[in-house]
Amino acid sequence: MLGDLRAKSAMHVTTEVDPTSGAILARNHYNPEFGDRIAYFDVDGATRTPHVTITGDRREFLGRNGSLRNPAAMGRTQLSNRVGAGLDACAALQVPFELAPGDTHTVSFRLGASGRRGNEANAMAQYLHEPDALQSALHAVQAYWSHILGAVQVETPDPSLDVLTNGWLLYQTIACRLWARSGFYQSGGAYGFRDQLQDTMALVHTAPHLLRQHLLRCAERQFVEGDVQHWWHPPQGRGVRTHCSDDYLWLPQATCRYVDATNDVSVLDETMAFLEGRPVNPDTDSYYDLPTRSNESASLFNHCVRAIRRALPTGAHGLPLMGSGDWNDGMNLVGIAGTGESVWLAFFLYDALVRFSPLALAHGDAAFARECLVHADVLRRSIDQHGWDGGWYRRAYFDDGTPLGSASNPEGQIDSISQSWSVLSGAGETERSRIAMEALDRRLVRRDHGLIKLLEPPFDTSALNPGYIKGYVPGVRENGGQYTHAAIWAAMAFAKQGDAQRAWECFNVINPIGHGDTLEAINTYKVEPYVVAADVYAVAPHEGRGGWTWYTGSASWMYRLVLESLLGLRLESGQLRFAPCTPVQWPGFKVKYRFGQTQYAIVVTQIDAQPGGPPTGIVVVVDGVTQRTAAVDLVDDQQDHAVEVRMIRV
C-alpha cells in the first residue's frame, strides 16, 4: 500500500501523529493505486501514557550503519517523537513499564490501513481503544474461521487427514490464496486467472458465495477476443496478456462446477463488460499493461461460450494449440510459433466441452450444446490417433511436429498430467488409461523418497527446449521434481479408476504431515508440515525436501482429493452423493456436514456382503428412511438430520 520497492517509494512516504488517538499515520500520495490510503500503527494508551514515545525515522531507530539485529533504539530510554516528510520513514513505538517479580503486563499493538475519507484511520484507532474492543475483534475473527471451517468436519481412522481437512487446507486456500495472494516464497498480491478459479472451486461445500463472486470477477478480466489476463493487480487491473492456452477454459470449468453444485442458474445471466487491449504480437509471449473497459458486455454464460470458442482451433494433429504454455507455464516454447499442440489441453478441453454441453442445453442454447459434443467427439478421436505413444499418453507436439512426452525423447519421456487427465476427463480409452496410469506409478511415484514426480527424465542436456522449465535444476520444481498440483491429480485419477490402494498410497506420499512425523523426516523435508508445499525436490542430495509452501493451489486440490475423491462426498444439484474410495481396513468414518443452517450427521460404515443379505453397493438411510439412490436431498430446514451410509463390499 505504501509502495513495493523501498528504494523507489521511501522518499514519498510521510508520517504524522493523529492528535486524538496518538497513532502513527503513514501515507504515500504518489502511489498511483493507493494514494488515498492511510496506514496506522498504534498502542494502548498512546495519548494517555506520557512515557510512550515514537519515531518515524528509520535512521534514528536503527542508528548510523545499524541493523535490525541490534537497533540503536533498544539502548535508549525514549524516542524523539520525530515524524514528517523527508525521512527514511518507519513507525516505531516505545512503551516503558516496570514489571515486578512474578507480575504480568499486557501491551496491545494495532497495525492497520484505511481510506482517507471520513478520517477512517482515526475512527478505527479510537474504536480499538474502547474497553474489550480488541477481545471483541479477536473473537469475531475466531468466530468467522470457526464457522467457515466448521461447515464440513471429518472423523476418520487417519488423524493426519482429519487435521488437514478440518482446518489447514481451507485456511491455506482462503487466507493465503484468496485474500493475501502472497506468501514468503512468492510475494505478489495479484489474481491469477486460472489460479484463484481453481482455489474457489474447492469452496462449494463451505463458502459457495466466494466462488460465485470470483466467477464474476474473472469474467470482467476477459478480452473481447475471448482470451483473458493471465494475472492482474487490483484495484486498477494492470496485468499480463499472453498466448497461454488454458487460462480462459477455467472460467467455464468453474462455472459448471458452481451451477452443478448449487443449482444457482441465475449466475449465468449476470452481465459483465469485456476488456479491450492490443493483441499480443505473434513473435512475443506476453505484455504488461492496463487494458480499458469495453463498451461490449455479455452474460456470464456468453463469457464462457466465448472462452470455449477461443480454445477450439487445432493444429496438424487435430489437437488444441499450446500457445505460450498450457497448465505448465514453464513449457512456454513448445508452441510459441503458433503451431505446437498440447495433448494435455486436449483432455482438459474435452472435459470442459462435455461439462458445458448440458449446462448450455438447460440454459436454452441447444445449438451450442450440440456443437460442444461434436467438438468433443472429434477431439477424442484425435487423442486416440495422435495422443497415444504406445505405453502412455504424450504431452505435446512442438511447433515443428516433434512429439514431447514420448519414449523417443531423450528427456521428458513421460509427463504425469497427460496420464491423470486421460482418466479425469474420460477422454482416454479405458485400457490405454489403465496402462498409462501403470506407467505413471512405475516411473513417477517415488515411495522411497515420499514424492510423485511431474515428469521423467528431467530436461538437462538434450536439444529439446520446451521453455524456461529447462532453467530449473533437473529434479527441482516442474523440471522433474514433485509439483504437488499434478501429484494430487494422479491420486484423484487412481481413485476414479477405483484403485483405492494406489489412491491412498499417493495421498500418503504427498500428505505433508507425513513429512514431519519424525525428526528424520523433518530434517529432510525442512518446511512446515501442516500446510501443502507447491513442490518437493527429487534430486540428490535433497530428495524429499519441500519447496515453497503456503502460496500454492495444491491446498484446494488436496481438499477436493480428500473430501470428494477419497471420502466420496460430492455436491450435485442440491444433493450430497456418496461414492467413497476408502482403504479396505477402514471400518468407516464420520462427517458433520452443514448445509445452510442445517446439520447432517453422517456415519459411513464399510461392511462385507453376507449370503442372503443386501446386494453390494451403497445404501443411504436418512432419519430412518432408506433412500432410492446413494444420495441425500439437502434441505435447509434448520433441523438436525442423521444419515447412515452403508458400503457393502464383496
Task: Please write the tens of the pLDDT for every residue from 378-437.
Answer: 999 999 999 999 999 999 999 999 999 999 999 999 999 999 999 999 999 999 999 999
Q: Where residue 21 falls among pLDDT bands split at 50, 70, 90?
A: confident
pLDDT of 118 strictly over 50: no
Distance in angstroms (rounded) separating the CA atoms of residues 236 and 224 = 18
Q: Where residue 643 falls among pLDDT bands split at 50, 70, 90?
A: very high
Element (H, E) at 209: helix 208-219
At residue 461, φ and ψ (nearest 5 deg) are -110, -5
Whole-angstrom Cα Rg for the chain: 27
* CB atoms closer than 10 angstroms to residue 354: 20
Q: Which residues pair with 242 in a beta bridge?
A: 286
* CB atoms closer than 10 angstroms to residue 114: 18
Q: Are 523 and 129 in contact (CB under 8 A)?
A: no
Number of H helices, E strands in the chain: 18, 32
Q: Where residue 633 falls among pLDDT bands split at 50, 70, 90?
A: very high
Does 101 sit behind a cis peptide bond, omega within 30 degrees of 0 on the bond before it?
Answer: no
**Mean pLDDT, residues 480-503 taken together:** 97
- Residue 67 C-alpha cell reads as 541493523
Roughly what angle, to the nearest 10 degrees, separates helices 250-262 and 208-219?
Answer: 150
- Fill in the DSSP letter of residue 189: -
**Mean pLDDT, residues 125-153 taken together:** 90
**Residue 389 CB contacts under 8 Å (≥ 6 apart), including other chains:** 403, 405, 406, 407
Return the biggest CA–CA distance within the chain: 88
**Mean pLDDT, residues 552-570 taken together:** 97
* CB atoms closer than 10 angstroms to residue 601: 13
The pLDDT score that the predictor gives to residue 281 is: 94
Across the chain, mean pLDDT equals: 94
Distance in Å from the first CA to the final CA of the chain: 61
pLDDT of 1 strictly over 80: no
